[in-house]
Structure 1
C-alpha cells in the first residue's frame, strides 16, 4: 500500500516519545550486561492477557494507519510499502485463523511467534506476549516455521511483498551460518530485530532452560541463541539483528505499537523507546560495525521544516544526502556538531538516503521529507 504521511503523523513522531511513563527507565543506569539486567527488571512481570487476548491487542496495535491507512491488518509478510498489497485482512471477519486453509497466501491470518514457540515449549507468558508475536498470513507463517531470521542468498520462496526463505548468505554481516533462514523486507527488518532483543531481555533468567529443553523439537529455533543468559544470542545472529536494528530505525508504527501493547500488558520494548540501549549492552561483537549499529540516530523522520537532526557518538567527517536516482543532493564535509548532534537543512520534499561517515565506517539511513 502507498504510504500516507500527514501533518498529524509528523507531529506524532515527536510527541509519542512523551508517552513513555515518567521515570520508567530511571533505574537503567548501567552499561553492558548490567544494563540488560536492569532493563529486564523494569519489563519483567507483565500482565498476561492470554493467547486469545492477542487478537484483542492487535485491534489497537497492528492496524494499518501508515501505508494505505485503511485500518486493515498490518502484516509484515504481505505489506508492500510502495504499492498495493496483493491481499488484505480485516479483524473480526472470517479471515481470522479458524484452523482451516492456509495452503496459499491470502486465505487466513494467525499469530506469528517471532521467536518460535517450540523454543520455550509454548509456555506462558511467552506464548501470549504481544511484544514479539505479530499477526501474519497463515501460509507464510507456516513457511517460515522455526527457521531463524537471516540474509537469504538464493531464495526458495518469495512472498508477494518480497520476504524470502533460503540458505543464509554466509558473507559480510551474516557470515557464520549456511542453513535455511527467513528474511523479511527491509521495511520490517529492524522491527523483527527489536522484537528478538526484547525477548532475550524480558526472559533473561530462563533462556538457558529454553535452550536446553528437551521439548524443543528442532535445532532450527536454537540457531539464533547461544544458551547464555547475558549475551543470549550467537555472534552470527547478533550481528544480523544489530545491523538490521541500525539500518531500519524505529518507525512511527513501532512507537504506536509499543504504546498500545503497554496499555494491555503494562510493559514496554526498551529497544523501541531507547534504540541506543542495544549497543550499550552488546557493543562490538565479532567484527560488527558498531558505528552503524549503535551510535547514529536520525530524527525526526519524516523531517520537520525540511530539516533533520543526526545524533552520532562518533564524530562525523562527512554527511551526504542522495536521492532515489542515486544523485548526490548535499555533501557536508567536516560538519559541525552541538552535543553530538548535526543538522541537515534545506531538504526538498521526497525520499532520500542519508549517508554518514566516521573514519572508514559508513552508515546509511532512509529519510522522508514531506
Structure 2
C-alpha cells in the first residue's frame, strides 16, 4: 500500500509538467496582410507565472525541414484572471499582453509547441523534438498532413494520438480553439476570452483620436470608450511619451474618469508650438494603470505632429536644380593620382582612391537608413526625404518597417542585389553609427549591399515596380521629368569602379551576375542630367560616413575617359582657372572671434563653412564685405564663390 501511494504521488508530481499551461487558441491566417494573427495560452490556475517556459514555432514545409523559425521567451509574463496569455501584434484586439511583430506566424502545415526550456535551447533552425515538451499543436490551412512533424511529436507519451488541425483555406476568418476535453474546434476567434464562454468577462477600453496628424499648436481630442457601460467611476492615466516627444511638448490632463453609468470620456491635449526644428514626431498614447477587469482594446496608439519649423535648403530639389551653390568637400589633392593616366591605369588609380582599405569604411544596411535621411533630405522640407523615382518628398518617419509599402519609403539599390550578388548578414540589422564600421577593399563586394553612394530613398511600391530591371528597361513613373537619371547612372558607374566583379555592358545581359546594362543608356542619362547641388550635397554627406566619394559627381568628365568619347586619352584634372580667380581675396582677421572681413570681392558672392571632416555647416550670401560666424572654437574650411569662380581658405575661430 505504501509503495502504491508513493507511485501515485510520483505521478501527481510529474503531471503538472504537462498540464499547467496549454495552447488554448491559434489564429495563424487572417484576411489581408496577416497582421491580426495570434496565439493564446491557458494555465490551469489564474495569474500563473510563466518563467521558465518558451513557445517555439516550427516550419513544416519541404524547405523548412520541421525546424524552428521563431521562439518566444515567456520569462516575466503571467496569465490573467482567466488563466490566459494573448500573444500577437499591436493590430490584434483586445491588445495582447505579449507583443510580437505582425505577419510572423506562418500558415502551415506547421507546429507550435510549449517547452519548459530556455530560449537559447532553440536557436533558429532547431529541428522539432520532444525534450521538455509541455504542449503542441500541429496545424495547417487546407494543406496535406505533415507526417514527419506528426511522427516527431507522436513519440511523446502524452501525444501518441496527435492530429493535424486545419484552420481553413487561405485568408480564412477562423481560429483553432482547444475544448475542455483536449480536442479542438475551428470557429470564430475569441482572443482574451475562455473558449467555452465562462470566466470573467473583461471590459475592454478603446482609445481614439479625432485625426491622425496635427500641426504644432493644434489641440488633439483623445477619446476612451469602454465596451460595457461602467457601474462605478473608472479612473486611469495614460502617457504620450515616445523618443523625443515628452511632457515638455504638450499640455493637458493625462488622467481621466469614465463616470458611472457612461462608457466614454474625452480629454484635450494641446501640442506646444516651440519654434524649434525638432523634426516631425509621433506621440504614443499608452495606458499606464488600467486594472482588471478593464483591459486595453487597443493601445500604444500613435498620432503625428508635423513640425512647422522645418528648414528649406539654399539649393534646389532635383526637379528645380541649382548649380554651384554646394561645393565638393574633397580633400586637397584627392584626385591628383589620376593625372597623366589612361585606360586601365586610370581605372586602377581611381579604385585605389575610392576603395582604399586604409581609409574607406563600410557601414551596415540599417545604418543606411540614417545616411539616407541626411543625404536624401528634401531641400524643400528638412523633415522629408526626396524620393528618387517619384520626384517628391515624403516624411522621414514613413520609413517602411513592415510588409506594407504603400505610403512608405525604403532603400533602393540602383544596381540591384540580384544583378550584383551582394547580400545582407545578421550584423546588417544593427544601426551602430559612424564610428563603428567594417574595414573594406575593392574585393569586398558584399559591402556593395550597404554602399550609400548607390542606395537611394524610394517610394515602396515604385521600388517594387522597378524590381531588378536595367535602366533603359525602367525609365521611371509616367508623368515625371526624369530628374533622377543622371544621378542613378553615376551611382552605377561608381559601383563598377569601387568593387571588383561588377561591370557595365552594352544591352541588357540576362542572368549574368555582376553585369549591368545598358551602357549607352547610362552615358546618355549622365550627359543629359549633369550633377547638381542636390547630388553634390549627397556626395558630401556620404563622404562623412564612408570616407570615400563618388568621383563622377566631383569630376563628371571622368566618365568619358573610362566609358565614353575619350577612352584611351590621358586624363588631367581641369586646371581650375575659376578656382584660382579669387585667390587674391584677403580674409581677416584670422584667427577671428566671429566676424571675418572679405577684401577684394568685386561682385556679390556666397560663402560656405565646412568642418575639417567635410561636413557642410553653414552657407549664406556675402552682401556687405564681411561675414559673421557663430561657431565653436576650432579650425574650419571657408569657401567663397562669386561669378563662377571660387577659392578655399582655412580659418580659425578663437
Q: CA deviation at 1:89?
A: 2.2
Query: Partner of 2:401 in structure 1?
Result: 98
Name the CA distance, whole Å, in 1 between partners of 2:488 and 2:326: 24
Name the CA distance, whole Å, in 2 between partners of 1:137 and 1:193: 19
Query: Partner of 1:245 in structure 2?
Result: 526
Q: 8 Å contact 1:54–1:128 — kept in the other structure?
A: yes
User: How many residue pairs end up in the alignment?
Assistant: 236
Q: 8 Å contact 1:198–1:271 — kept in the other structure?
A: yes
Aligned positions of 1:163-178 closer than 5 A:
none
Name the CA distance, whole Å, in 1 between partners of 2:390 and 2:457: 11
Name the CA distance, whole Å, in 2 between partners of 1:118 and 1:243: 24
TM-score norm. by structure 2 comes to 0.32
SS in 2 for 1:101: coil
SS in 1 for 2:336: coil
1:52 aligns with 2:366: yes
Query: Partner of 2:349 in structure 1?
Result: 38
More strand per residue: 1 or 2?
Answer: 2
Q: In the TM superposition, what whole-angstrom CA distance separates every residue of 1:105-146 from its partner, at most 9, and x where no partner exists?
A: xx2111000000112333331110000011101111011011
Query: Partner of 1:89 in structure 2?
Result: 394
Name the CA distance, whole Å, in 1 between partners of 2:533 and 2:368: 21
Name the CA distance, whole Å, in 2 between partners of 1:43 and 1:261: 12
SS in 1 for 2:457: strand
Name the CA distance, whole Å, in 1 between partners of 2:513 and 2:530: 25
Backbone CA RMSD of aligned residues: 4.0
SS in 2 for 1:258: helix
Query: Partner of 2:447 in structure 1?
Result: 125
TM-score norm. by structure 1 comes to 0.55
1:264 aligns with 2:569: no
Which of 494, 497, 505 is residue 201 of structure 1 equivalent to?
497
More helix per residue: 1 or 2?
Answer: 1
Query: Partner of 2:563 in structure 1?
Result: 282
SS in 1 for 2:489: helix
Q: 8 Å contact 1:32–1:282 — kept in the other structure?
A: no
1:76 aligns with 2:388: yes
Q: CA deviation at 1:56?
A: 1.2
Name the CA distance, whole Å, in 2 between partners of 1:135 and 1:221: 26
CA 265–109 in structure 1, closer or farther in 2 if over 3 Å, else same: same
Q: 8 Å contact 1:190–1:248 — kept in the other structure?
A: yes
Q: CA deviation at 1:57?
A: 0.7
Highest relative contact order (Cα 8 Å, sep 6+), 1 or 2? Answer: 1
CA 221–145 in structure 1, closer or farther in 2 if over 3 Å, else same: farther
Name the CA distance, whole Å, in 2 between partners of 1:121 and 1:281: 23
Gapped regions of structure 1 (runs ≥ 5): 80-84, 163-184, 212-217, 226-232, 287-294, 307-342, 345-370
CA 7–199 in structure 1, closer or farther in 2 if over 3 Å, else same: closer
CA 278–70 in structure 1, closer or farther in 2 if over 3 Å, else same: same
CA 267–193 in structure 1, closer or farther in 2 if over 3 Å, else same: same
Q: CA deviation at 1:100?
A: 1.9
Aligned positions of 1:4-23 closer than 5 A:
6=314, 13=324, 16-17=327-328, 19-23=329-333
Name the CA distance, whole Å, in 2 between partners of 1:279 and 1:248: 14
